[in-house]
Amino acid sequence: MNTAEETVEYAAEQSPRLRWAEHAPEVYKAMIRLDAAAGRGLDARLRELVKIRASQLNHCALCLDMHSKDALAAGESVERIVQLSAWEESRHFYTEKELAALELTEAVTVLTDGFVPDEVYDKAAKHFDEAELAQLIAAIAVINAWNRFGVACRMTPGHYQPGQHG
């Protein structure tokens, strides 16, 4: 196994298309402030599941690298992370509250197909009190912004250390 691994030739790593935080440091600071505000009051593991799922839908490599590692660091299981992109078929890995949050994450992330259905919103509203729900929506909206920075600037994944950004 070891010898096989040693001879694997991976594709070359690409540099980011645009080091946006260096060109827009005030924007980066504003994003960090927003991110801290949007996460308050939500369970850390739930927050990471939401961020991973949105990043899967938006295909953000850097965000997947970061939030999978943060989830593991927060005590999340590999199994639940692996199953996340098929959560509808693996519901027994998650609580009803987590499932409601994941469903809302998908509806709010895939807006170009239109709106957030009442049944999705109502299910989330049954499991989260109003303040929590507002923060959940904020967290989904904010990871969607990070995903767009990551994808548009083609930020390079693989180097994130858990907790790196506090």
Partner 1 sequence: MSRTRLLDEEVGRAMSALSATAKKGLADPVLAELVVIRASQLNHCAFCLDMHLKAARRSGESEERIQLLNAWEETEDLYTEQERAALALTEAVTVLTGGTSRTKSGGGFVPDEVYDRAAKHFDEVRLAHLIALISVINSWNRLMVSRRIPPGGYRP
Take residue 87 and report the two structure tokens written for it.
């959560």
Written as one letter, the residue type at 115 is F
Provide the mask over 124-163, with x wherever binding to partner 1 is found by CB under 8 A and - wherever it is not. Answer: -x----xx-xxx-xx-xxx-xxxxxx-xxxx---------
Q: For partner 1, give the closer residue by CB, 58 or 68.
A: 58
Contact 97, 128 (CB under 8 A): yes
> Under the criterion CB under 8 A, does residue 66 sit at the interface with partner 1?
no
> Under the criterion CB under 8 A, does residue 115 sit at the interface with partner 1?
yes
Contact 144, 59 (CB under 8 A): no
Nearest by Cα to 107 from 54, 146, 60, 147:
54
Three-state SS for 129?
coil
Provide the mask over 6-45, with x wherever binding to partner 1 is found by CB under 8 A and - wherever it is not. Answer: -----------xx-x--xx-xx--xx-xx--xx-x-----
Pairwise CA distance, residues 73 & 125, whole Å: 29
> Under the criterion CB under 8 A, does residue 165 sit at the interface with partner 1?
no
Take residue 90 and report the two structure tokens written for it.
């693996």
Residues in contact with partner 1 by the rule CB under 8 A? 17-18, 20, 23-24, 26-27, 30-31, 33-34, 37-38, 40, 57-60, 104, 107-116, 118, 121-122, 125, 130-131, 133-135, 137-138, 140-142, 144-149, 151-154
